[in-house]
Amino acid sequence: MAARLVDFARELREEGVMTGTSELLDAVAVLREVAWTDRDAFREALAATLAKSQEDRRIFALVFERFFFRATEAAALREGVHESSPPTHEETGDGDAPGELDLEMLRQQIARAVQQGSEGAMRDLARLAIAAFGRPGEGSGVIGVDVQRIRRQLGLRAEPQPELDADDPRAAGLPRDALRRFEALLRRELERGQIERTETLPPSRPLNELDRALPSGPLQDLAAVHRVVAQLKRRLKTQGQEHRGARRRTHVDIRRTMRASLQTGGVPVVLKERPVRPRRPEIYVLCDVSTSVTSASVFFLSVLHALHDSFRKMRSFVFIERISEVTDVFERERDFKAVSEAIGRNAGVADISGYTDYGRVWSEFREQVGDDLHRRATVIVLGDARTNGRDPRADIFASIAADAGRTFWLNPEPRLYWNYGDSVISAYERHCRAFECWTTRHLEDFVEALARPTSMSPDP
Amino acid sequence: MSAPPVQPADLARRLRATGYLPGESTALVSHLAIALGKPVLVEGPAGVGKTQLAKALAEVLDRRLVRLQCYEGLDEAKALYEWNYRKQLLRIQAESDTASWRDVQDDIFGEEFLLERPLMDAISSPEPVVLLIDEIDKTDQEFEAMLLELLSDFQISVPELGRIEARTRPVVLLTSNNTRELTEALKRRCLYLWLDYPGLEHELEIVRLHTPELSQELTRRLVEVVQMVRELDLKKPPSIAESIDWARALLLLGARDLDQDMFRQTMSVIVKHRADLDVVAERVGVRLVAGASAG
Q: How confident is the model at residue A99 (pLDDT cuts 50, 70, 90)?
A: very low
Whole-prediction pTM: 0.60
pLDDT of residue A85: 44
Q: Is the pLDDT of residue B173 over 90?
A: yes
User: Any chain B CB within 8 A of the CB of A313?
Assistant: no
Instruction: Report d(CA B90, CA B86) in Å as an integer.
Output: 6
Q: What is the pLDDT of residue A277?
A: 59
pLDDT at B174 over 90: yes
The answer, yes or no, to whether residue B18 has pLDDT greater than 50, is yes
Q: To 5 degrees, how large is the angle CA A20–CA A23–CA A29? A: 150
- Cβ contact (<8 Å) for A262 and B105? yes
Residue B117 has a pLDDT of 87
Query: Which ranges of chain B does DSSP label H, i.e. alpha helix?
Result: 8-17, 24-36, 50-61, 76-79, 85-95, 101-108, 118-124, 141-153, 184-188, 200-210, 216-231, 240-253, 260-266, 274-280, 286-294
Under 8 Å CB pairs connecting chains A and B tally to: 85
Of all helices (H) and strands (E), which one includes residue B255? Answer: none
Task: Please tell me the predicted confidence (pLDDT) of residue A83.
Answer: 52
Give CB contacts under 8 A, 24+ apart, made by A290-295: A290/A319, A290/A320, A290/A321, A290/A354, A290/A355, A290/A356, A291/A354, A292/A356, A292/A384, A292/A386, A293/A383, A293/A384, A293/A412, A295/A219, A295/A412
What is the predicted pLDDT for the residue at B54? 92
Å from B82 to nearest chain A CA?
11
Query: Is there a contact between B35 and A57 if contact means CB atoms under 8 Å apart?
Result: no
Give the range with max mean pLDDT: A97-106, A186-195, A387-396.
A387-396
ipTM over 0.85: no
Residue among B43, B85, B180 minimizing CB distance to A309: B180
What percentage of chain B has pLDDT greater than the value 70? Answer: 91
Q: Which amino acid is at A268?
A: P
CB atoms B191 and A258 under 8 Å: no
CA distance A30 to chain B (A): 6
User: Nearest by CB to A33, which of B35, B83, B184?
Assistant: B35
Is B32 in contact with A45 (Cβ distance < 8 A)? yes
Whether residue A454 has pLDDT greater than 50:
no
CB contacts of A37 in chain B (<8 Å) are none
Q: pLDDT at position A95, please?
A: 41
Judged by a CB distance cut-off of 8 A, whether residue A160 touches chain B is no
Asked if B193's CB is within 8 angstroms of A48's CB, the reply is: yes
pLDDT of residue B58: 92
In this prediction, residue A165 carries a pLDDT of 63
Report pLDDT for A168.
Answer: 64
Cβ-defined contact of B92 to A51 (cutoff 8 Å): no
Tell whether B190 lies on the interface with A, counting CB pairs under 8 A. Answer: yes
- CA of A259 vs chain B CAs: smallest distance (Å): 7
Amino acid B65: pLDDT: 93
pLDDT at A183 over 60: yes
State residue A170's pLDDT score.
66
Chain A closest-CA separation from residue B32 CA (Å) = 6
Average per-residue pLDDT for chain B: 83
Nearest-Cα distance to chain B for A204, in Å, is: 28
Task: Give the confidence band of B292 by pLDDT, cuts at 50, 70, 90.
Answer: very low
Q: How confident is the model at residue B291 (pLDDT cuts 50, 70, 90)?
A: very low
pLDDT tens, residue by residue, A195-210: 666 666 555 555 443 3
Share of chain A above pLDDT 90, in %: 0
Cβ distance of A52 and B32 shorter than 8 Å: no
DSSP run (H or E) holding A411: strand A406-411
CB distance B190–A47 less than 8 Å? Answer: no
The residue with greater pLDDT, A268 or A341, is A268
The rounded percent of chain A whose pLDDT value lies above 70 is: 62
Residue range B238-246: mean pLDDT, rounded: 89
Task: Give the pLDDT of residue A60.
Answer: 85
Using a CB-CB distance cutoff of 8 angstroms, which residues of chain B are in contact with residue A57? 192, 194
For an interface test with A, the pick among B42, B139, B181 (most A C-beta atoms closer than 10 Å) comes out as B181
Taking a contact as any Cβ pair under 8 Å apart, which residues of chain A between 13 and 52 contact chain B? 18, 20, 22-23, 26, 29-30, 33-34, 40-41, 44-45, 47-49, 51-52
User: How far is residue B217 from each of residues B197, B226, B288, measured CA to CA in Å?
Assistant: 21, 14, 14
Range of weakest confidence among A224-233, B204-213, B259-268? A224-233
**CB of A207 less than 8 A from some CB of B:** no
Note the pLDDT of residue A208.
43
Any B CB within 8 A of A206 CB? no
- In A, minimum Cα distance to B31 occurs at A33
pLDDT of B181 over the 90 cut? no
pLDDT on residue A98: 44
Residue A316, pLDDT > 60, answer yes
Put simply, whether A235 touches B (Cβ < 8 Å) is no
Pick from B126, B139, B127, B86: nearest CA to B108? B86
Residue B153 is predicted with a pLDDT of 84
A440-451 helix and A222-238 helix, angle to the nearest 10 degrees: 10
- Min mean pLDDT across A115-119, A348-352, B94-98 is at A348-352
Please indicate whether, in this complex, the C-beta atoms of B85 and A258 are within 8 angstroms of each other. yes
Between A99 and A282, where is the model more confident? A282
Looking only at Cα atoms, what is the longest distance across chain A?
103
Give the nearest partner residue to B178 out of A20, A26, A334, using CB atoms.
A334
For position A203, what pLDDT does the model report? 53
Q: Is the dihedral of CA B151, B155, B161, B162 positive or negative?
A: negative
| Distance between A188 CA and the closest CA of chain B, angstroms | 25
User: Is pLDDT at A259 greater than 50 in this prediction?
Assistant: yes
Cα separation, A102 vs A340, in Å, equals 51
Indicate the residue of A48, A259, A332 with minimum beta-carbon distance to B192.
A48
pLDDT band at A143 (very low <50, low <70, confident <90, very high): low
Q: Do B83 and A312 touch (CB under 8 A)?
A: no
B43 touches chain A (CB under 8 A): yes
